[in-house]
Amino acid sequence: MIENYLETLNSRFHDFDIEYRKQAYINYLRYPDPAYKESPDKKSYVTITEKDLERMAFGELSVSIKKEEKIDNEYDLVVTDSDFIVSGRKKDVYMSSMKAAFTEKPDLFRDYADKLFGKYNKENLINFSYENGYFISVPDSTKTELKIQSIQDSNSSFTFKNVIVVGKNSSVEITDVYRKHGDGNGVHGRNIYIFCLEGSHVKYNYIQAEGEDTVNLTYLRPVLYDNSEIRIIDVNTGGSRVLYNHESEMHANTTMKSYGVNISRADQEMDIWDSSLQYGKYSNCDINIKGVVLDRSSTMHRGNIDIEPDGIKSTGFYGSAILLMSEDGKGNSKPALLIKNNDTKSKHSSAISSLDPEQIFYLRSRGLSEEESKDLIINGFIGYIADITDNEFLKKQLNDILKL
């Protein structure tokens, strides 16, 4: 059992962030997963076994990725199982591994990397067992674009913690791409913490297209300081079992807009969370997520609009839409409004629809095959995601992965 592993983990990491790990371990034990069943026919919508978590926490890293495979001139940072390769083009931005940042930037590390602990059981597990990750710091009043690619081996199991600090009044767009390398059934656990300091403007693009047999757990935690804003685009297509949990912590006069797409195929299980935690007044949240279900796969959409007592004059919207392209597929949606003052505006919407035979008939009457007709319908449903951005690099990534 993982409860017995603290001594082993201490011996693995020695003094690398050990005090933080100890508290994360306590939180992991203190906040277990709920005992109730989330689904009528099984305990949770995505099945993550104890063995999966053991493999993830202990780590089974691979060194099968050769040096010549790692370098891509398009990216400012390339992450593999064993290396963090920085292009050096962004000389005003600090980019490094978490291990290096722990010694090179101790004050910055303490102020941000050690600031947040997990809210969920598996998030705490990642925090106390993380092996490495990237650490990025953008100075105040800086305008830049960063491109990151992670190509960790599909057969590897690991926990990584990534931290991004965006300085005051800075403007940055970050494209964070997670690609498949090889075949395998590894378990990949990641926590991503983004600190948007006062007056900053952040665009964060998360694209996950890992191996079809891997297990993927990702917790995305933006923190919006006063007068900051973030726009998130998240895409999930890879993995056999995917748990993606995004929650933005919002303070006064902040704005968060989140747009998501997920496509599940074969026997994939996806549990996609997008939520706001609005502490400050005049905070504004807008979440829109779309999913496509193919074959025997399943997709679950969840989201909370949580406006706290001090969050007066705030707004929150959550919208989910799922398109079922197969009679054997499953789709579900569970939005919730958690409103703790009476001076706000909030709403949620949810729609699950199946393929309309008349649409197929109409398109086939115009000379398209059945498969071409289905592809056209899917592209029309999820294609909105590419219209949100004018970033040509991001558009190319979306087109390659979503086949728009």
Helices (H), 236-369: 357-365
Which three-class secondary structure state does DSSP give residue 113?
A: helix
Place of tokens 């371990």: 25
Residue 387 CB partners (closer than 8 Å, separation 6+):
none
| 161: β partners | 191
Mean per-residue pLDDT over the chain, rounded: 91
User: Cα–Cα distance between 92 and 182 in angstroms, integer?
Assistant: 34
User: Cα–Cα distance between 341 and 247 in angstroms, integer?
Assistant: 20
Average pLDDT estimate for 3-26: 74
Confidence of residue 319 (pLDDT cuts 50, 70, 90): very high
Average pLDDT estimate for 17-41: 82
Select from 233, 282, 236, 237 the least CA-distant residue to 255: 282
Distances (CA, A) of 138 to 167, 173, 201, 232, 257: 6, 11, 12, 18, 21
User: Cα–Cα distance between 387 and 392 in angstroms, integer?
Assistant: 11
Average pLDDT estimate for 47-70: 75
Predicted local distance difference test score (pLDDT) of residue 8: 60
Predicted local distance difference test score (pLDDT) of residue 3: 57
Q: Using the predicted structure, report yes or no on whether residue 127 has a pLDDT greater than 70.
A: yes
Average pLDDT estimate for 40-69: 76
How many of the other CB atoms lie within 10 Å of CB of 4? 7
Predicted local distance difference test score (pLDDT) of residue 83: 87
The reported pTM is 0.94
Q: Using the predicted structure, report yes or no on whether residue 36 has a pLDDT greater than 70.
A: no
Residue type, 78: V
Predicted local distance difference test score (pLDDT) of residue 34: 75
Confidence of residue 132 (pLDDT cuts 50, 70, 90): very high
Q: Using the predicted structure, report yes or no on whether residue 78 has a pLDDT greater than 90.
A: yes
Q: Using the predicted structure, report yes or no on whether residue 42 has a pLDDT greater than 70.
A: no
Predicted local distance difference test score (pLDDT) of residue 404: 55
User: Cα–Cα distance between 249 and 238 in angstroms, integer?
Assistant: 27
Residue 178 CB partners (closer than 8 Å, separation 6+):
150, 152, 206, 207, 208, 209, 210, 238
How is the beta sheet containing 187-196 ordered, strand by strand? Answer: 94-97, 134-138, 158-166, 187-196, 215-224, 241-250, 269-278, 298-307, 330-339
Of 277-281, 319-323, 384-388, the poorest mean pLDDT is in 384-388
Let me know: does 388 contact 404? Beta carbons within 8 Å: no
In what helix (H) or strand (E) does residue 63 lie, and over which residues does it extend?
A: none
Predicted local distance difference test score (pLDDT) of residue 59: 85
Predicted local distance difference test score (pLDDT) of residue 357: 86
Q: Using the predicted structure, report yes or no on whether residue 12 has a pLDDT greater than 70.
A: no
Q: What percentage of the chain reaches a pLDDT higher than 70? A: 91
Residue 115 CB partners (closer than 8 Å, separation 6+):
195
Sign of the CA dihedral 82, 87, 91, 93? negative
Which three-class secondary structure state does DSSP give residue 249?
A: strand
Q: Using the predicted structure, report yes or no on whether residue 332 has a pLDDT greater than 80.
A: yes
Predicted local distance difference test score (pLDDT) of residue 118: 87
Secondary structure of 82-99 as H, E, C letters: CCEEECCCCCCCEEEEHH
Predicted local distance difference test score (pLDDT) of residue 68: 53
Residue type, 329: G
User: Cα–Cα distance between 89 and 145 in angstroms, integer?
Assistant: 11
Predicted local distance difference test score (pLDDT) of residue 2: 58
Q: What percentage of the chain reaches a pLDDT higher than 90? A: 74
Let me know: does 179 contact 209? Beta carbons within 8 Å: yes
Q: Using the predicted structure, report yes or no on whether residue 1 has a pLDDT greater than 60.
A: no
Predicted local distance difference test score (pLDDT) of residue 82: 79
How many of the other CB atoms lie within 10 Å of CB of 350? 15
